[in-house]
Amino acid sequence: MLTDLYEFYKKYVLYASPKVIIAFSDYFQFMYQQNEDEKTDSKQHLLLMTKIMVEMRKDLGLKNKDLGKNGQKLMRALIKDYDVIIG
C-alpha cells in the first residue's frame, strides 16, 4: 500500500496545496515509523489518512463540517469496526 500511495504522491505533488503535502508527509512518516517498530496504531493510521482527504476536499472547495476534526467520519462507511477503532 505504501508503494501505491507513494506513486500517487509523486504524480500529484505538483498540484497539491501545502496542507495536502504536509498531511501526506505526516502520514508517510507515521508509516515509516510503523515499519521500523512493527506495531500498528489503527486509530492514528485512520486519522492521518482522513486528514489527507480533508485537505484535498478543502482544495476542491468542499465543506468538511460534521466529518470530524480530521475527517475521520470519511472512512466510517468503509470500515466494519470503525466505532471500535475510533471510539
pLDDT per position as a tens digit, 6-53: 788 888 888 889 999 999 899 989 988 876 656 667 888 889 999 999
- How far is residue 64's CA from residue 50's CA, in Å, rounded to a whole number? 11
Q: Where are the domains of the chain?
A: 2-86
pLDDT score recorded for residue 35: 66
The C-alpha cell at 9 is 504522491
The C-alpha cell at 39 is 506495531
Q: Which residues contact 57 (CB under 8 A, 6 or more apart)?
A: 63, 64, 71
